[in-house]
Amino acid sequence: MPVVTSGKVLVTGANGFVAAWVVKDLLDHGYSVRGTVRSEGKAPYLREFFKSHGDKFEVVIVEDITKEGAFDAAVSGVDAILHIASPVTLAVVDPDEVIQPAVRGTTSVLSAALRPENRATIKRVVIMSSSAAVYVPPDPGHTNFTRVLDERDWNTFSLKEVEEKGKDANGLDKYRASKTLAERKAWEIYEAEKTKGLEWDLVTLQSPFIFGPIVHEAPSLDKFGGSPRIWYDNVVGGKANEDTLTKLGFDFVDVRDLARAHVLSLTVPEAAGQRFIIRASEFVYQQFVDAARKFSDKVPVGYPSYNLADATFYARYSNEKSKKVLGLQYRSLEETTKDTIVDFESRGWL
């Protein structure tokens, strides 16, 4: 169970919300980082943001992560891989529009890691999956979820929905199926290669909604997307109705804690060959609204007279393994909110 406490780490999709924080955490802890982006236009911001780290940070272009051999050059000479780049979309008709890029991106990275010149130098590969790959729906006849899911659970429900309904399947199930199939493919390849004396270990991380301040490029609010934009619209943008704010329950993690989990996954021997759910706590959006109003009077009041017991939680996830094995400590909802509000105000978005 080799660990990676120094050396060079490849981070795919380095310009993304999560990956940019991962790059920062790695550099702050003395690693060298090679980050991939899809075009040269996405590289200048990263080079400028991380310029204080000098030649410990470099950017390489991987235009299409689904192509065979896409990562061969990028993987050369690295000690570990953190694969974070993956499509996130619910707006597809054909399930393969989201499934194939997710699976092929994963197989492309692993194929590069298995090349003879690479497999002996790489010590660990960490893949960011999603709680979507763990999700199991409530029991028939129930809308609220009481059983707590853990790393032993796999989302076979969405796979069946997509298999049976195809293009008519729910967009969320298409996305969940893509994450499940991509992660399953990674484990399938890993287990097969272990019988051939594989030198590196695999770790996968499953996270729910990811919130928090940002360090990736976001020049204006209209070019700001993903889960941070959902948080913005619902919490400070005043766009959510009462049901959205008070009746629907989810789980979240602070992006900085997820970044820390990636780095810890490299350094903890016992993490080898394991899945980890990276999750801080459950929430309804009104809790974020109430917390945000402590730090900014510009935040709409929402619907503070709510009863959390009335909320429907469609899934609940355990983070016990991540705390016990990785030693991960999670930020509170209020800390995430405060730091996000400060960040948004500094950008003129409030």
Spell out the domain ranges in the chain. Answer: 8-214+252-280+317-330
Pairing of strands 124-128, 32-37: unpaired
- Enumerate residue ranges in the chain where pLDDT < 50: none
**Which conformational region is residue 347 in: left (phi greater than 0), alpha (psi within -120 to 50 degrees), or beta?**
alpha
The structure's pTM equals 0.96
| pLDDT score, position 50 | 98
At 69-126, the pLDDT tens digits run: 999 999 999 999 999 987 666 667 788 888 988 999 999 999 999 999 998 899 999 9
**Distance (Å, whole) CA 320 – CA 336:** 20
| pLDDT score, position 87 | 66
CATH number of 8-214+252-280+317-330: 3.40.50.720
**C-alpha closest to that of 129 among 75, 206, 49, 201:** 206
**Distance (Å, whole) CA 295 – CA 229:** 19
For 32, the enclosing helix (H) or strand (E) is strand 32-37
**Distance (Å, whole) CA 350 – CA 346:** 8
